A and B are shown apart, each in its own frame.
Chain A
């Protein structure tokens, strides 16, 4: 119906309708809400009512208030750490997968991806119960004699958020790294061996550099997912684990300042776009079509 078909007159009006729908749907339900949202960041709140006069006060407040900028910065650092942890764990696992043959490789990959299908909320909850004072982690550490008594180091603070997010997001790091590693032709490693390189040299000089694009997209993936999450910090962060997502969320709940929340969202979106662009920039190989 969209092909180069003979456009007979009776179908013309229906084609116009289709065109209208095709353009209107994304614009109305995606672009317009985002535009309104952006517009909101220039409004303000007066006694619980939204004041529609344009102002930059929200941005000024974000940049000048002693709370928001540090929280924003700390959250970025936190999410960057999550990305680093995920990549460090995912890389060896992805590399191991590529050393496996045929069916085993994809079976194990599936196995590592299945946890993604499990309810996000339930995983957060389960991880909290593992990290908690009576949780498995503390029991194991006490049992092994590493700790004298259960520690509250692992729950209701920044550490807890870091650990939980890392656990949740590892699969998102495995996949891109695995895919780039798999795409490296084995003949390149053979060529390196043939030229006299040791196994370590071949890894450091051929495999690792060729897989860096995958690492970049893995890191940007994880970072974006981590920074947008407000459920995990809410659940495991306690009072001290205050992240940007939580601050943002609270503007629409308890704080009830939608315009300010919208301005915070713009800052969040800016970071996310930067991360995506960086991932995209380094995720592309230097003209390395083989």
Chain B
């Protein structure tokens, strides 16, 4: 019905965009299965040597472990405090706008500013840079996302749900544990997955606040600046598979229930 040439043009641009977005992903993955010598990929010699040497690369494995530990702590801290804040600010007028603004600041500001502010803060309060400071940095960064996810769900819950619970004689704590928490759990899970994904890939704040031990992106950053290593290609492939799995998981947890509540 609409002029064909325009549709072809649109499809072509979309295809170009897809190629532009995916080539940086596929180039290292494909390269990971071939021998690399002097910065050149030798297409004639396929190999899994990169994966073998990755398995023996202690530095990378340690960084991976640190990343997972940081991610887990960040998720725990951000989900607890994000949910608490959402519950607290939900339905409260005074001071909510200002505090919400503060929570969103690290997410809106360039990470370099948040990172540097924290760096100076840690120095002023005398906190040594370590994985702990990284966890604090990540939590501050992802808090807004968790808070937002939980608050959105809270706002979609009918007020009468809580009122019904009180009406039936439940105390505040009982209402929290038996009515609110079960209804918030999927939003909290969704927030947790997002928080983990963001923490897993966070680089700019981490670089600034990390101590001697560093997370995977920072370790990769350091390695890449030194030069090309086939291990990295292998790691890229593995991380891609991991993130796609995480993405599928997040979609499963988040989409069906949110679609159901969004259709109010």
Contact = CB atoms under 8 A, between A and B. Distances in A.
Contact of A249 (B2, B90, B112): B112
B102 to A, nearest CB: 4
A86 B244 CA distance: 24
A18 B24 contact: no
Interface string A75-114: 0000000000000011011011101000000001011101
Interface string A148-183: 000000000000000000010011001000000000
B220 A119 contact: yes
A281 to B, nearest CB: 15
A52 B17 CA distance: 51
Interface in B52-103: 81, 84-85, 87-92, 95, 99, 102-103
A269 B113 contact: yes
Interface of B: 2-3, 6-7, 9-11, 13-14, 16-18, 20-25, 27-28, 39-40, 81, 84-85, 87-92, 95, 99, 102-103, 105-106, 108-113, 116-121, 124, 136, 139-140, 143, 162-163, 166, 171-173, 175-176, 180, 197, 201, 203-204, 207-208, 216-217, 220-221, 224-225, 228, 232, 235-236, 239-240, 243-244, 246-247, 251
B173 A1 contact: yes
B102 A96 contact: no
14 contacts: A2-B88, A2-B90, A27-B102, A36-B117, A36-B121, A92-B9, A93-B17, A110-B251, A167-B21, A174-B17, A199-B3, A229-B110, A268-B113, A269-B109
A143 interface: no
Contact of B220 (A18, A19, A37, A121): A121
A122 interface: yes
A287 interface: no
A157 to B, nearest CB: 17
B143 to A, nearest CB: 8
Interface stretch (A3-11, A58-66, A209-217): A3-11
B252 to A, nearest CB: 13
A119 B239 contact: yes
B21 A33 contact: no
B25 A115 contact: yes
Contacts of B232: 122, 125
A37 B21 contact: no
A218 interface: no
A1 B86 CA distance: 12
Interface in A134-152: 134, 136
B83 to A, nearest CB: 11
A49 to B, nearest CB: 13
Q: Determine which residue in A120, A262, A272 has the highest number of CB atoms from chain B within 10 A of its CB, and name it.
A: A120
Contacts of B109: 228, 269, 272
Contacts of A258: 120
Contacts of A22: 84-85, 88-89, 99
B119 A252 contact: yes
A252 B208 contact: yes
Contact of A118 (B176, B207, B216, B243): B243
A127 interface: yes
- Interface size for chain A: under 10, 10 to 19, 20 to 34, or 35 or more residues? 35 or more
Q: Determine which residue in A4, A34, A120 has the highest number of CB atoms from chain B within 10 A of its CB, and name it.
A: A34
Contacts of B39: 134
A29 B136 contact: yes
Given A29-B140, A30-B103, A121-B221, A89 B92 contact: no
A250 to B, nearest CB: 12
A199 B2 contact: yes
A129 interface: yes
A89 B3 contact: no
B14 A92 contact: yes
B234 to A, nearest CB: 12
B120 A36 contact: yes
A167 B108 contact: no
Contacts of B84: 18, 21-22
A33 B117 contact: yes
Contact of B13 (A23, A89, A228): A89
Given A26-B102, A36-B124, 20 more contacts: A6-B166, A22-B99, A30-B102, A30-B105, A33-B120, A36-B120, A37-B116, A93-B17, A117-B247, A120-B217, A121-B224, A125-B220, A174-B17, A228-B113, A230-B204, A235-B224, A252-B208, A269-B110, A269-B113, A272-B113
A5 B24 contact: no
Given A3-B175, A272-B109, A170 B90 contact: no
Given A26-B99, A95-B10, A114 B110 contact: no
A265 B114 CA distance: 10
